[in-house]
Amino acid sequence: MTEIAPQMRSALGTAAARPTMSQRLRRTQVTLHNAMGELYKSKTAFAGFLMLVFLVFACLATPYATRYDPVKQNYAQMLKAPSEAHYLGTDRYGRDILSRILWGGRRLVTIAVAAVVFGMLLGVPYGVLSGYYGGWADSVAMRIVDGLLAFPGILLYLLIVTLARAWQIEGIWNDLSLIFALGFAFMPEVARLSRGVTLGEREKEYVEAARTMGDSSLYIALCQILPNCISPLIVNATVRLGYTILIIAALSFLGLGTLPPTPDWGADLSAARDHMETHPLTAVFPGLAICYTVLAFNLFGDGLRDILDPRLAER
Amino acid sequence: MIIYTINRILHLIPVLFVLTVVVFGFVHLLPGDVIDTLSAGDEDVTDPQVRMALEKEYGLDKPIYVQYAKWLVKVVQGDFGHSLITRRPVSVELLAGIPATVYLAVVGMALSVLIAVPLGTIAAIRRNSPIDYGAQITSLAGISIPEFWFAIMCVLLFSLYLGWLPSSGYASPLEDPVQSILYLILPATAVGFRHAAYTTRLTRSSMLDEMNKEYVDTARSLGFSENKVIYKYTLRNAMIPTLTISGLQLANMLGGTVVLETIFSWPGIGRGIYEAIIQRDYPLIQAGILVLGTIVVIINLIVDLLYRVLNPRVALN
């Protein structure tokens, strides 16, 4: 049962008064409460939500929770099995695997979030404007998107990563180029989706009303239509976060991500292959970390879709 | 239908244009001179005379759109230049890899559809049963597991511990069919399992969609047996989206097998491109991506046209 915010009740009696601070707070509270109620109703969304909370907590707590330097080599402790001192054992340079996974995850999640946000910043205005204006501008814009979508699999990333390698980009710039590559490759999908939703919204009455009131086209497209397209975009972005993490891991698995000493799940997994027969656990833990993270985003995205689009929840 | 086909083919032109521009521009975005890049540290390029000759040969003295046009004409004729490493024509190197990649992708796809369609159908028919929950959980896990990790774990279990299957390698199915299948099992499973997870979800939801439609009730009220209603009518309609997505995914698989081909030392086009990237063999990268991209576009076209044949209702809208 959805509660009605108090100022709405009062608005029925008195003319629309400006809400006071406490009313605003109350309204936020009600919204949050309703959102949590919805979240609790969907088992998948709630499970994903809990997993994500734990993930974010682990990322934030990493500097305090880890007891070892993730990069420093310790040849006295090479390839140790899990023990009291090293909960997940050590890798072939004697580095604590738990520390490497935590630090690697912090980096990976940050890059993935930045890449998805960047892709949406590029793709959403692109799609909304092209859908709203229509005509030949729309045709040209969509053909460009089709062309970019024709790059199969991870090849577009490989192309951009190759360029970054050729320019010998290092350190933070390397991460930024990765963010750019992933975000840019996400752009066509977002553009298509937001264009599709815009085409549906464009014909609705509120747009016509805004037009009658003399709002400019740009204002209508970005301030009236865009907020109404947001829910499919959020679902898409959540699922995409999981996918982006898979891609980053695959790239660094191929040795095209970050350079070796930096903790990285994909690169660690690739390094663990050399002594997999004798020490399989070194290859198991980074893989499990990737699975956990991607599953968290997928569960949450799946559940979110059911909540935001109740017609699908019946399935 | 004919008009639609022609229309659709005309739509390919701008798409291929974007694809070629990106691939062409790629070499020009590399640091340094194109001659330095293409000669890859060969002797003599410091000599201005040789440079002039090379610039003329590559057409670098012309404006960039003329260069693009000339390059395009060559590409259309199948001339992608020479590999910087092996000095053999790029087209020869690429063609060598295509059969292995197609073989892997097609078998992987067939495997995944064979598992996913029955599983998704049963999950939809027995909705909210243990089988349904099992299928849903498995498929959700399936799309969350990175395929390279899955591949490594399979190698660990089946090659290193049990010793049943070879850990990597390739044998041509025409020359040595038995050996070829042994080599194929692990890579094909790794390629297929992720798609199997997607397809299961898709089949389940489109089955549920169809089962709620009125024609199903009509068929039941006419007294058709439940098996006939489900397998003859519902499943057929539910298959349309599944097959369409599978077709589109097949295109994606051709390019997405890079990681798996590397793990299993599969001599396909994906591994070829990966090695070209490591060795900075730019003409090969350029050509590989262009060829795969074109294949994807063409497969998409075929899938789109088949979709209309399978589902004539679309054409009415």
Write the pLDDT tens digit of every residue in A266-314.
Answer: 888 887 777 777 777 778 888 888 889 999 988 888 888 777 765 554 4
- At residue A106, does pLDDT exceed 70? yes
Q: What is the pLDDT of residue A310?
A: 59
Q: What is the pLDDT of residue A104?
A: 82
Q: Residue A2 falls within a domain, yes or no?
A: no
User: Token pair for residue A145?
Assistant: 């998107």
Q: What is the pLDDT of residue A314?
A: 46
Number of A:B CB contacts under 8 A? 150
Confidence band of A165 (pLDDT split at 50, 70, 90): confident
- The residues, any chain, with a CB within 8 Å of residue B119's CB and separated by 6 or more, are B135, B200, B203
Residue of A nearest to B138 (CA): A295
% of chain B surpassing 90 pLDDT: 0
Polymer length in residues for chain A: 315
Instruction: State which residues form the domain around A157.
Output: 93-313
Q: What is the pLDDT of residue A117?
A: 92
Residue of A nearest to B275 (CA): A254
User: Which residue type sits at B243?
Assistant: L
Could you tell me which residues are beta bridge partners of residue A90? A96
Q: Residue A79 falls within a domain, yes or no?
A: no
Q: What is the pLDDT of residue B278?
A: 78
Closest in B18, B31, B140 to A143, CB measured: B18
Least confident range from A70-84, A235-249, A253-267, B241-255: namely: A70-84
Q: Residue A220 falls within a domain, yes or no?
A: yes
Distance from CA of B175 to the nearest CA of A (A): 30
Q: What angle do CA A155, A176, A272 make, to 5 degrees?
A: 65
Reduced to 3 states, what is the DSSP secondary structure of residue B96?
Answer: helix
Confidence band of A1 (pLDDT split at 50, 70, 90): very low
Please give the Cα distance from A125 to A145 (Å, whole number). Answer: 14
Please give the Cα distance from A285 to A263 (Å, whole number). Answer: 13
Q: pLDDT tens for residues B51-72? A: 777 677 666 667 777 778 887 8
- At residue A79, does pLDDT exceed 70? no
Please give the Cα distance from A112 to A241 (Å, whole number). Answer: 6
Polymer length in residues for chain B: 317
Closest in A162, A286, A302 to B277, CB measured: A162
Angle, nearest 10°, between helix axes B64-76 and B2-29?
A: 120
- The residues, any chain, with a CB within 8 Å of residue B15's CB and separated by 6 or more, are A143, A146, A147, A150, B297
- At residue B255, does pLDDT exceed 60? yes
Q: What is the pLDDT of residue B44?
A: 54
Least confident range from A47-56, B48-57, B226-235: namely: B48-57
Residue among A42, A159, A241, A299 with most chain B CBs within 10 A, to mutate: A159
Please give the Cα distance from B148 to B258 (Å, whole number). Answer: 10
**Predicted structure pTM score:** 0.81
Please give the Cα distance from A258 to A262 (Å, whole number). Answer: 7
Please give the Cα distance from A293 to A303 (Å, whole number). Answer: 16
- At residue B191, does pLDDT exceed 80? yes
Taking CB atoms and an 8 Å limit, are A154 and B258 in contact across chains?
yes
Q: What is the pLDDT of residue B38?
A: 62
User: Which residue type sits at B57?
Assistant: E
Arithmetic mean of pLDDT, A185-197: 85
What is the number of structural domains in chain A? 1
Please give the Cα distance from A23 to A90 (Å, whole number). Answer: 55
Please give the Cα distance from B102 to B225 (Å, whole number). Answer: 41
HEC profile of chain A? CCCCCHHHHHHHHCCCCCCCHHHHHHHHHHHHHHHHHHHHHCHHHHHHHHHHHHHHHHHHHHHHHCCCCCCCCCHHHCCCCCCCCCCCCECCCCCEHHHHHHHHHHHHHHHHHHHHHHHHHHHHHHHHHHHHHCHHHHHHHHHHHHHHHCCCCCHHHHHHHHHHHHCCCCCHHHHHHHHHHHHHHHHHHHHHHHHHHHHHHHCCHHHHHHHHCCCCHHHHHHHHHHHHCHHHHHHHHHHHHHHHHHHHHHHHHCCCCCCCCCCCHHHHHHHHHHHCCCCCHHHHHHHHHHHHHHHHHHHHHHHHHHHHCHHHHCC
Arithmetic mean of pLDDT, A54-82: 74
Taking CB atoms and an 8 Å limit, are B18 and A283 in contact across chains?
no
- B259: nearest Cα among A275, A249, A301: A249
Taking CB atoms and an 8 Å limit, are B148 and A154 in contact across chains?
no
Reduced to 3 states, what is the DSSP secondary structure of residue B89?
Answer: strand
Partners of residue A167 in chain B, C-beta under 8 Å: 30-31
- Please answer whether residues A207 and A225 qualify as being in contact, where contact means their C-beta atoms are separated by less than 8 angstroms: yes
- The residues, any chain, with a CB within 8 Å of residue A38's CB and separated by 6 or more, are A307
Please give the Cα distance from A149 to A151 (Å, whole number). Answer: 5
Please give the Cα distance from A210 to A171 (Å, whole number). Answer: 48
Arithmetic mean of pLDDT, A163-187: 79
Q: What is the CATH number of the domain that holds A159?
A: 1.10.3720.10
- A190: nearest Cα among A244, A265, A240: A240
Distances in whole angstroms, Cα of residue A170 to Cα of each of A38, A96, A161, A164, A259: 45, 25, 12, 9, 9
Q: When comparing pLDDT for B227 and A126, which is higher?
A: A126
Q: Residue A45 falls within a domain, yes or no?
A: no
- At residue A198, does pLDDT exceed 60? yes
Closest in B14, B152, B280 to A283, CB measured: B152
- Please answer whether residues A302 and A45 qualify as being in contact, where contact means their C-beta atoms are separated by less than 8 angstroms: yes
Residue among A52, A145, A146, A312 with most chain B CBs within 10 A, to mutate: A146
Least confident range from A85-99, A166-180, B113-127: namely: A85-99
- At residue A35, does pLDDT exceed 70? yes
Confidence band of B43 (pLDDT split at 50, 70, 90): low
Q: What is the pLDDT of residue B36?
A: 65
Q: What is the pLDDT of residue A114?
A: 92
- At residue B239, does pLDDT exceed 50? yes
Q: Residue A16 falls within a domain, yes or no?
A: no
Please give the Cα distance from B301 to B11 (Å, whole number). Answer: 10
Distances in whole angstroms, Cα of residue B100 to Cα of each of A304, B96, B149, B169: 40, 8, 22, 11
Q: pLDDT tens for residues B69-114? A: 887 887 777 777 777 777 777 777 788 888 888 888 888 888 888 8
Q: Residue A170 falls within a domain, yes or no?
A: yes
Arithmetic mean of pLDDT, A71-94: 69
Confidence band of B115 (pLDDT split at 50, 70, 90): confident
Residue of B nearest to A289 (CA): B145
Arithmetic mean of pLDDT, A150-168: 76
Tokens 């020009």 identify what position?
B28
- At residue B293, does pLDDT exceed 50? yes
Q: Residue A58 falls within a domain, yes or no?
A: no
% of chain A surpassing 70 pLDDT: 83
Quote ipTM for the complex.
0.79
Most confident of A44-53, B53-62, B175-184: A44-53
Arithmetic mean of pLDDT, B148-158: 85
Q: Residue A15 falls within a domain, yes or no?
A: no
Confidence band of B209 (pLDDT split at 50, 70, 90): confident
